[in-house]
Structure 1
Amino acid sequence: MGLQRNSSMSSPNRKSTTLQHLFDLDSKSINGTKLGSPNNTSKLFSMSENEELLSVISYCTFIFSFSDPLESPSQQELKRNQLMRLLSIIKSSKKPLHDQILAPLVSMISTNLFRPLPPPSIPTSTLEFHDEEDPIFTFSPTWSHLQIVFDILLRLVMNTDPKTLKDYVNHPFLLKLLSLFRSEDRRERESLKNVYHRIYSKFTFYRSFMRKSMTDVLLHYVFETEKHSGIGELLEIWGTIINGFTVPLKEEHKLFLMRVLIPLHKTQGMQVYHTQLAYCVSQFVQKEPMLGGTVVRGILRYWPLTNCQKEVLLIGELEELVENLDPEQYRKLALPLCKQITKCLNSWNSQVAERALYVWNNEQFVKMASTAMEEVFPVIVEGMEKNLKWHWSKSVRELTDKVKAMLEEMDPLLYSKSLQDINVEESAAHQKEMMRRQIWEKNRVGSSPESISANTLFMCFPWNNIVV
């Protein structure tokens, strides 16, 4: 069997060349040269180290599935020890690895890492409600080996000159590495994130390719499948990349914000990666505050209709964005933002309503609203009065009362006028409804159904106010 062949190759009983052994052979020679001379001793040391490394690498190339009952646990442990030994050698090596070692080493790493991943075990519909401690998340049985292989790759990237390694860590290698972010084992994704980001930092000539590759993965997730376990880790990498962008931002980077980051707010599983997504977006707005208007309108466009958890997260994100907005955009964004916040504070979900009410504690948000008071106040006042009259939650009504007191203090006359306008509108609507009922009752009692005109029926029902 292949396993036996490999295990014999690197048996623990195999004796390595030692200094004493070299001295014992001092009287002998190869090609007429004494082995005891310093130059040849160092050559033999080098040959011995390379042979030892190649032997260890060869053994580590064998893959254990950890699910086959025929596999020997002792041989699995032996491979783990050999991987640890290889990692120790690479860590302690003070000189670059020889090309003779690099090729089989990268080949061994590829063989261990680039394997078919199992299909997702988490339905998309439940992904957004997941808890990372929940056993529904699978853990790779091969992690005891994979963890060390990732460490070897990370150490190799850190200690080797990128120009030397570029023949082995090439575009196909990077694409295969990127595909591993689909793994459901968060430990693997975390190690992978560190390796991928380190490659991005050191291999400057690959940066454009790596950004494009990650963008393709995110676009495929948003517009095709909405199934991917590693979106959060990819966005963490993007967060550090965006943080390093120079101002003014390139058009390529602005397009990434508009075409990728903003649409990422609309997916079903947004809760899983919202923290990383909000950080990326805020980095853009901090670098160029004028982008804030584009971001706010984009988030409002993708506002969820029935997902209360997402609403709470988005309210918090909008509140943070307001603090970084360009003040020149306050007046343009005040009305659409206040309309959405008012809809949220009228929500029957108490968490959404309370979170929306707490926004009014933010000084920047209040400052933004005050730039368009005449337009904003009627909307806000109507929302406040609805809560005070109809909301089922006592805590929401109490919070509403506090916010109302604050708004009245800001502009008592405007608040009073808005309240009067609302009362007038409600009174007019009530009178119109009473008229409809009277007309309907009169025609129902005094006439047969056949004699009721179409125009009368049209006036008796509320659909006459529908604007087409």
Structure 2
Amino acid sequence: MPTNKINKNEPASPNPNTSPFIIQSTAKPTPAKSSEPNSSENNDANWSALADPFKEPHVMSPILVDEVQNVKTLRKQRSSQFNSITKKDFKVFPKIEGISSYPSIYSLSPPTFLNLSSNFPFFFLPSPPLSLDLRNSNGDKLKLFCKKVDHCSILVDFSNENTFTELKNAKRNALEQIIDYIGKYHIPKNEALYSQIISMVSSNIFRNISSQSGINGEPFDPEEDEPLLEPSWPHLELVYIFFLRFLESDSFDEFLARKFISQKFILQLLDLFDSEDPREREILKTILHRIYGKILLLRSFIRKSINDIFLQFVYENEHFNGITQLLEIMGSIINGFTVPLKDEHKVFLCNVLLPLHKARPISSYHPQLAYCTVQFIEKESALSEPIILALLRYWPKINSQKEVMFLNEIEEILDVIGIAEFQKVHIQLFQRIAQSVFSPHFQVSERALSFWRNDHIIHLIYSSLDTIMHVVLNEVYKACKLHWNQSVQQHAYAVFRFFMLSDDQLFDSCIENIRYSHEQNQASALSRKLVWSNIHKSAASRFPNQYCSAPPVLDYIENIPSHSSVIDQLDMIIDHVIQENSSPNVYSNHSPNLSNQNISSNSSQSVPFYDSYQDISFSFPINSKPPLTPTDSSNIYYDHAQS
């Protein structure tokens, strides 16, 4: 029959019915004086274990007794049955009657956290320092490393900054020590050690993600509201760094790791991407990418799980904070796809990636989304047609900011496609671009007109100039004369001049079509005016007191420019281009746009570039500045001071 007394020279016998890390005592624990001197020559002094043996314990864990020393019995102020903490970091090991399994995550919050009554005492086991003294054997270092990893599973309450300060500092020191260890020493390929590491990481990072609401209970808006930062980030960051170093270490073994980094682990990791803390999302992005690269069997599952998040975001709630980071991961994954692309990758593009363009919060992740679409086109140029047609299908009607984003993406796509792919979609594409040229929003108009500053797009336009000029020229002319923004008028004139100097015969044909179109519009306006006048006269004769004034539609028709005035203005612009082309280096104040006359060279207003515009490049003869190339950042085209 075992005795309750423990010999210091022999380890305690393990109890198979008790957790190996649980100590419970029915008697009040008292410290025992160590009979052995504290010698610096003894390696066990640096790698000492947790505490002196307690007097007459009821159940004792299988910890070597010669490693147990220096435990002080202290009281918590709220109860005489609890011990308190003085220094170093401690771990809580409650023994609860009637519970066969113990929680894997412990906390030093009040006992109500684990629904414990005050009848169950705690013993706090002090953690020794992780000394990396070369005098100690590798086995001792690894042994203490395992203890440190086990102690780091403790969760500390960060709801109050002024509580558990010593424990917070102790755990932080322990995390820094194990990070330093894993960067210097080889991690053995041991299943129990891998399980312990993944268990510690899981207990720290997997939690319920807290969210906040905006004003009046509205959902959190990342563009308007400040993110809710994770209060436990000082510890959480170190846990993530430790896990990342573990994945990147040369001794990492895929076969052992995939037993514990399972599909459930991946799903829980993806849920953490919904955290409002951008710091956590960024490091999660790196960790998930490392897992994707290290564990090959999980690659397909990771892609499928990310697809599910995208589909849920598009078709259900349109809220997930980590869409940007997941798209960055997918961009890296797409970049590694082999050519020719598999059918599943094309299905992902058409059914998952492209529908992300219609979500309302697209502004937060559009650059990453555009990068993914361009990567697909670089892998297989034939995909440019379904991508461009999908963009035209999802094209925004009233959101100007979103329309500018779509124009940006269209330009990126046109930069990587050839003439053969361009000619498949150029008519539908430039019909949409022509509408954007005469958009009432000046940023949309300027962004659409900027296509004529891209050398590769100019080359594509020349390949289908006969159709593109017929589609675009009329809208360019209207933007040149009728747009309210002066900068847009200047840019539209530059594009008008480009078409005029490209092909004389084709330009004359388009001008005739414009004149005929305005004649038809004028005739239609006169016909509508006559119909409305007859309606007004008939109504006024029957109800003279109610219809004494003309309807507003007649005023609108009266304000439509006459055909003669439109043709005169068109001829004036053409004459100005001809005159400018005959003397391109002479600045003239006789601009076709009367509102741009008499601009002083010292004025803060931009000089109209169509007065010195040559072949999609700019010059400034007033101030004797050298010509600028279309891609120069100091080009006047980028000057939005008057917008």
TM-score normalised by the shorter chain: which range applies?
A: 0.7 to 0.9
Match of 1:81 among 170, 173, 177: 173
Equivalent residue number for residue 395 of structure 1? 487
Normalised by the length of structure 2, the TM-score is 0.61
Equivalent residue number for residue 126 of structure 2? 11
Q: Rate the CA distance shift 1:15–1:342 in 2: closer, same or farther, 3 A.
A: closer
Show the 5 A alignment for 1:348-427: 348-427=440-519
Q: Rate the CA distance shift 1:73–1:7 in 2: closer, same or farther, 3 A.
A: farther
Report the secondary structure of 2:360's partner residue: coil
Could you list the per-position Cα deviations for residues 51-102 of structure 1 after superposition, in whole angstroms to 9, with x for gaps in the alignment? 4233322321111231146731121111111111121222222242533332
Is the contact made by 1:181 and 1:189 (CA closer than 8 Å) also made in structure 2? Answer: yes
Match of 2:383 among 291, 313, 317: 291
Is the contact made by 2:483 and 2:489 (CA closer than 8 Å) also made in structure 1? Answer: yes
Show the 5 A alignment for 1:144-155: 144-155=234-245
**1:103 equivalent in alignment to 2:195:** yes
Equivalent residue number for residue 231 of structure 2? 141
**1:434 equivalent in alignment to 2:526:** yes
Report the secondary structure of 1:269's partner residue: helix
State how far apart, in whole Å, the 2-side matches of 1:15 and 1:282 are: 50
Considering only aligned residues, what root-mean-square deviation do their CA atoms show, in Å?
3.2
Is the contact made by 1:128 and 1:272 (CA closer than 8 Å) also made in structure 2? Answer: no
Equivalent residue number for residue 287 of structure 2? 195
* Letter of the structure 2 residue corresponding to residue 304 of structure 1: P
**1:317 equivalent in alignment to 2:432:** no
Could you list the per-position Cα deviations for residues 209-251 of structure 1 after superposition, in whole angstroms to 9, with x for gaps in the alignment? 1111111111111111111111111111111111111111110
Show the 5 A alignment for 1:244-255: 244-255=336-347
In the TM superposition, what is the alpha-carbon distance from 1:130 to its structure 2 partner? Answer: 4.9
Is the contact made by 2:213 and 2:220 (CA closer than 8 Å) also made in structure 1? Answer: no
**1:304 equivalent in alignment to 2:304:** no
Is the contact made by 1:157 and 1:199 (CA closer than 8 Å) also made in structure 2? Answer: yes
State how far apart, in whole Å, the 2-side matches of 1:128 and 1:9 are: 41
* Letter of the structure 1 residue corresponding to residue 360 of structure 2: Q
Is the contact made by 1:10 and 1:59 (CA closer than 8 Å) also made in structure 2? Answer: no
State how far apart, in whole Å, the 1-side matches of 2:499 and 2:470 are: 12
* Letter of the structure 2 residue corresponding to residue 154 of structure 1: L
Match of 2:350 among 234, 241, 258: 258
State how far apart, in whole Å, the 2-side matches of 1:384 and 1:430 are: 19
Q: Rate the CA distance shift 1:126–1:419 in 2: closer, same or farther, 3 A.
A: farther
Normalised by the length of structure 1, the TM-score is 0.82
In the TM superposition, what is the alpha-carbon distance from 1:354 to its structure 2 partner? Answer: 0.7
Report the secondary structure of 1:11's partner residue: coil
Equivalent residue number for residue 27 of structure 1? none
* Letter of the structure 2 residue corresponding to residue 280 of structure 1: C
State how far apart, in whole Å, the 1-side matches of 2:307 and 2:157 are: 32
Could you list the per-position Cα deviations for residues 118-156 of structure 1 after superposition, in whole angstroms to 9, with x for gaps in the alignment? 125468x9999855xx87122111111111111111122
State how far apart, in whole Å, the 2-side matches of 1:102 and 1:8 are: 27
State how far apart, in whole Å, the 2-side matches of 1:241 and 1:438 are: 64
* Letter of the structure 2 residue corresponding to residue 338 of structure 1: F
Equivalent residue number for residue 156 of structure 1? 246
State how far apart, in whole Å, the 2-side matches of 1:94 and 1:259 are: 45
Q: Rate the CA distance shift 1:59–1:402 in 2: closer, same or farther, 3 A.
A: same
- Which one has the bigger helix percentage? 1
In the TM superposition, what is the alpha-carbon distance from 1:422 to its structure 2 partner? Answer: 2.2
Report the secondary structure of 1:147's partner residue: helix
Q: Rate the CA distance shift 1:150–1:288 in 2: closer, same or farther, 3 A.
A: same
In the TM superposition, what is the alpha-carbon distance from 1:10 to its structure 2 partner? Answer: 5.1
In the TM superposition, what is the alpha-carbon distance from 1:342 to its structure 2 partner? Answer: 1.2
Task: Pick 1 or 2: higher relative contact order, CA cutoff 8 A, min separation 6.
Answer: 1
State how far apart, in whole Å, the 2-side matches of 1:376 and 1:186 are: 45
* Letter of the structure 2 residue corresponding to residue 399 of structure 1: H
Equivalent residue number for residue 317 of structure 2? 225
State how far apart, in whole Å, the 1-side matches of 2:401 and 2:435 are: 15
Q: Rate the CA distance shift 1:120–1:370 in 2: closer, same or farther, 3 A.
A: farther
Is the contact made by 1:53 and 1:101 (CA closer than 8 Å) also made in structure 2? Answer: no
State how far apart, in whole Å, the 2-side matches of 1:350 and 1:253 are: 38
State how far apart, in whole Å, the 2-side matches of 1:112 and 1:272 are: 29
State how far apart, in whole Å, the 1-side matches of 2:294 and 2:246 are: 12
Q: Which runs of 5+ in 2 are unaligned?
A: 1-115, 544-553, 557-643
Q: Rate the CA distance shift 1:127–1:259 in 2: closer, same or farther, 3 A.
A: farther
Q: Rate the CA distance shift 1:127–1:284 in 2: closer, same or farther, 3 A.
A: farther
Could you list the per-position Cα deviations for residues 317-362 of structure 1 after superposition, in whole angstroms to 9, with x for gaps in the alignment? 1112112224222222111111111111111111111111011112
* Letter of the structure 2 residue corresponding to residue 247 of structure 1: V
State how far apart, in whole Å, the 2-side matches of 1:241 and 1:225 are: 26
State how far apart, in whole Å, the 2-side matches of 1:226 and 1:118 are: 18
Report the secondary structure of 2:227's partner residue: coil
**1:72 equivalent in alignment to 2:169:** no
Could you list the per-position Cα deviations for residues 9-35 of structure 1 after superposition, in whole angstroms to 9, with x for gaps in the alignment? 552568999999xxxxxxxxxxxxxxx
Is the contact made by 2:127 and 2:148 (CA closer than 8 Å) also made in structure 1? Answer: no
* Letter of the structure 2 residue corresponding to residue 84 of structure 1: E
Show the 5 A alignment for 1:18-97: 45=137, 48-68=140-160, 71-96=163-188
Percent identity, aligned pairs only?
Answer: 32
* Letter of the structure 2 residue corresponding to residue 151 of structure 1: I
State how far apart, in whole Å, the 2-side matches of 1:443 and 1:317 are: 49
Report the number of matched residues. 424
Is the contact made by 1:292 and 1:324 (CA closer than 8 Å) also made in structure 2? Answer: no
In the TM superposition, what is the alpha-carbon distance from 1:174 to its structure 2 partner? Answer: 1.2
Equivalent residue number for residue 329 of structure 1? 421
- Most deviating of 390-399 and 359-368: 359-368
Equivalent residue number for residue 183 of structure 1? 275
